[in-house]
Amino acid sequence: MHANDDERTAGMTKPAAKYVVIEFIEADCNRRRPHSTIGYQMPARAMESFMELLDEYIRFYNERRKKQSLGWMSPMQCRISKGLEWV
């Protein structure tokens, strides 16, 4: 906890002080410790990994996947063939 936490919690009721401690644990400690449910990664790193995978999938979906309705071209190939996208 922070150096001035004693000042912040002075005069608090026991339930209010308990809430401050729980908030600290949830907000600070749990974000930095590895969690077994996400492959023993820290939550911030797990979110970064997820966002990287999501960006990769979005690029695939928009640029490389082949669609029958586009004559088995990817959306990017279709846009280029229609002169809508720079190569």
Q: What is the pLDDT of residues 46-75, one digit of tens each?
A: 989 999 999 999 999 988 999 999 999 998
- Interatomic CA distance for residues 42 and 85, integer angstroms: 40
According to the model, what pLDDT value does residue 41 have?
87
Which residue, among 74, 51, 52, 78, has the nearest Cα to 63 in the 3D structure?
74
Higher-pLDDT residue of 22 and 56 is 56
Instruction: Provide the sign of the torsion angle of the four alpha carbons 40, 27, 25, 19, taken in this order.
Output: negative
Q: Are 85 and 75 within 8 A, CB to CB?
A: no
pLDDT for the residue numbered 72: 95
- pTM flag (> 0.85): no
HSE, CB side, 13 Å, CA atoms: give it for residue 76.
Answer: 10
